[in-house]
Amino acid sequence: MNIIKYIVFVMLSNLAFAQNKEVVFEIQNSFVQDSLMVAVKITNNTDKDIWLPIDTSTLAYDQTMSDRYTRDFFTISQIIFDKKLNKDVGVQGVEGSDYFFTFGYLAWDDRMKNKTIEDIVLIPKGQSKILSLYFYFYHRLNSLDYFCFIDYENFENGQYDFYLSYQMNPESIDKYLSKEILDELKAKGYEPYFGKIESNRVPLVID
């Protein structure tokens, strides 16, 4: 099956994937590639105005967060699924310098301290919003540090799909967001959404 036919097949097979759910992720791209922006449409089918703390900055998706819990709270998980092995592919990082500690972690900590309500995704009931996310299949931060999906050099077209997943942990709200932000969200009538959200799947295309 050539790559064009494969892309069409996956799109058709996933057409109804996200229907009839409270909050829906729908990837707008017909496929994804390394360093290609991923557009995701978020639709709120609930009867409430909701908020999600999703960060769309470059920094949020270059593995510079100091711990997994921070990443889980602020970023949408970008997942590659191996159809032959029927499982998700892991990510590995190589640290050859102190880049993460001298720049990455400090830069993220600074961003955390300066977050405002403008950094929160607000979606009124019955409405949608499109976000653009950075996707890195293999990302070199400098000459010594990089991260990539495991065994990426052996990836082949047609074997892998890409999808998005997110679920907010209620216990993380007070830890990562200021009282000022939370009070402002409440005053505007927005509520956090704690349900698990998964997107449709699209092909991962290897250059």
Q: Which pLDDT does position 179 carry in this prediction?
A: 95
Give dist(CA 204, CA 159) in Å, integer. Answer: 8
What pLDDT does residue 25 have? 96
Q: What is the DSSP secondary structure assignment for residue 204, as one 8-state letter?
A: B
Q: Hey, which bits of 150-206 come out as E strands?
A: 160-166, 191-192, 197-198, 202-203
What count of other Cβ atoms lies within 10 Å of the Cβ of residue 206?
A: 15
Which residues form the domain of 123?
Answer: 3-203
Beta pairing partners, 132: 39
CA distance 43 to 39: 13
pLDDT of residue 146: 58
User: What pLDDT was estimated at residue 64?
Assistant: 58
Encoded tokens for 135: 């996707």
**Contact in structure between 11 and 202 (CB atoms under 8 Å):** yes
Per-residue model confidence (pLDDT) at position 51: 98
Q: What is the C-alpha separation between 11 and 105, in angstroms, rounded?
A: 38
Please list the pLDDT of the chain residue by residue as tens digits (207 residues): 454 444 444 444 444 444 448 999 999 999 988 878 999 999 999 999 999 999 998 878 776 555 678 888 999 998 989 898 898 987 766 665 565 556 667 778 888 888 999 999 999 999 999 999 988 876 666 666 656 677 777 778 888 899 999 999 999 999 999 999 999 999 999 999 999 999 999 998 887
pLDDT of residue 65: 57
**Number of structural domains, the chain?**
1
Distance from C-alpha of 150 to C-alpha of 21, rounded to nearest angstrom: 32
Q: For 45-65, how does the pLDDT look when each residue is reduced to its tens digit (9 = 90+)? A: 999 999 999 999 887 877 655
Q: Answer yes or no: are the C-beta atoms of 157 and 206 closer than 8 Å.
A: yes
